[in-house]
């Protein structure tokens, strides 16, 4: 018996999101094992799946039944974008490691620079979200109706902002530290 084709539901696409997350974890493991080509391919697959989820949720956004569902869809779409961008940055990091091992230091530097730019985009998006949430929670209609039993987003926002500006670092320095951390981890794994 043939199954009647139908358009995928949000739950179907969230299955793709789970699969993409699984690929992401697998790619991280392959990277730690020094299997750069396989980790690159797995990061690429994960990025592709997160991109599909993001595109699907863009289409489904206008079909949301209520405000809460719309907010959930927007958050899931944004998270898929962040994870896809992270995967793309990691592809650059893995390729840079591969090229460094071959002695191709000039193109290695370019790939690390590309990864840094992608990590910076992620940091900028997180900063934008934190500021947006802080602004939203400070609106009079959101403060007046809130009683003491309702949690505020401000502590979550403060935590995120502290993470972003840790040790008075600029986002660029933080991204550079992230790449240096991965580079050091790789070098230590070799010995």
How many Å apart are CA 21 and CA 80, to the nearest integer?
A: 10
Asked whether 182 and 27 are in contact (CB, 8 A), the reply is: no
Closest to 23 measured CA to CA, from 52, 51, 53, 49: 49
In a domain, 145, yes or no: no
Question: Averaged over 7-30, what is the pLDDT?
Answer: 82
Domain count, the chain: 1
In a domain, 103, yes or no: yes
In a domain, 164, yes or no: yes
- Tens-place pLDDT, residues 108-151: 999 999 999 999 999 999 998 888 877 666 655 554 444 444 44
Q: CB burial class (10 A; 0-12, 13-18, 19+) of residue 159?
A: exposed
pTM strictly above 0.75 = no
In a domain, 184, yes or no: yes
Which pLDDT value is given to residue 3? 40
Ramachandran area for residue 152 (φ above 0: left; ψ -120 to 50: alpha; else beta):
beta
Give the pLDDT band of residue 62 (cuts 50, 70, 90).
Answer: low
Give the pLDDT band of residue 183 (cuts 50, 70, 90).
Answer: low
Q: Which residues constitute the domain of residue 16? A: 10-139+154-190
In a domain, 4, yes or no: no
In a domain, 82, yes or no: yes
In a domain, 84, yes or no: yes
In a domain, 144, yes or no: no
Token pair of 103 as six digits: 């002695």
Question: Averaged over 72-84, what is the pLDDT?
Answer: 89
Q: Say whether 103 sits in a helix, a strand or coil.
A: coil
């Amino acid at each position: 018996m043939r199954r009647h084709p139908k358009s995928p539901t949000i739950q179907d696409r969230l299955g793709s999101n789970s699969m993409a997350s699984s690929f992401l974890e697998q790619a991280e493991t392959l990277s730690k094992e020094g299997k750069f080509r396989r980790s690159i391919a797995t990061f690429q697959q994960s990025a592709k799946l997160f991109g599909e989820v993001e595109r699907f949720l863009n289409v489904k956004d206008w079909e949301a039944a209520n405000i809460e569902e719309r907010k959930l869809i927007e958050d899931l779409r944004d998270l898929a974008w962040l994870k896809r961008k992270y995967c793309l940055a990691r592809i650059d990091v893995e390729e840079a490691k591969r090229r460094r091992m071959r002695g191709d230091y000039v193109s290695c530097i370019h790939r690390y620079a590309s990864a840094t730019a992608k990590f910076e985009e992620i940091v900028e998006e997180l900063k934008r979200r934190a500021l947006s949430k802080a602004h939203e929670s400070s609106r009079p209609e959101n403060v007046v109706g809130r009683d003491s039993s309702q949690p505020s987003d401000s502590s979550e926002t403060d935590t995120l902002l502290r993470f972003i500006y840790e040790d008075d670092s600029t986002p660029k320095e933080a991204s550079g530290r992230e790449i240096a951390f991965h580079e050091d981890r790789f070098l230590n794994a070799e010995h």
